[in-house]
Amino acid sequence: MRRMILLVTVAAMMAAMMALSGAALAQARGGGDVCVSQGGQTIYDMGASSCFSNPTSQAVAINHSFALAVRDSQAVAINRSTALAERDSQAVAINRSVADAERDSQAVAINRSQAIARNVCSVAALNGQYETCP
């Protein structure tokens, strides 16, 4: 369990760093497909990606992706992915993946995977896996 939480935390941090770097790079170059929403405000929106956050959350979507974060949550979606986070949760989806986390949970999905976490749990899905908890 500790290993899973560490994996989720590291993946979330890496994705967030990549997303913010990507947003800065896209803005500096005057283009790209990036959406950044923080505190309920869309900070940057260029291209096909979409994102939404409420006043207590952050969402980042890059390269034809969608990210939604509400109620003290964070969501990052990269490369045709979808990340949904609600109620004190974190979701990271990379490379045609879906991550959905609700109620104090963490979900990470990488490489055509799906990760669904509900009710205080952490889950990671890699390379085509479908993982859910509890």
Note the pLDDT of residue 62.
96
> Please, are residues 88 and 102 in contact by the beta-carbon 8 Å criterion?
no
Number of domains in the chain: 1
Compare 19 and 39 and report the one with higher pLDDT.
39
- Whether cis (ω within 30° of 0) applies to the bond prior to 55 is no
> In whole angstroms, what is the distance from residue 60 CA to residue 79 CA?
12
Compare 20 and 127 and report the one with higher pLDDT.
127
Query: Is 91's pLDDT higher than 90?
Result: yes
Q: Is 36 helix (H, G, I), strand (E, B) or coil?
A: strand
**Overall average pLDDT of the 112-116 stretch:** 98
Question: What is the domain extent for residue 113?
Answer: 2-133
**Tens digits of residue pLDDT in 31-72:** 689 999 999 999 999 999 999 999 999 999 999 999 999 999
Note the pLDDT of residue 30.
57
Average pLDDT value for the chain: 87
Grade residue 125 by pLDDT with cuts at 50, 70 and 90.
Answer: very high
Note the pLDDT of residue 2.
54
DSSP assignment of 77-107 equals EESS-EEEEESS-EEEEESS-EEEEESS-EE
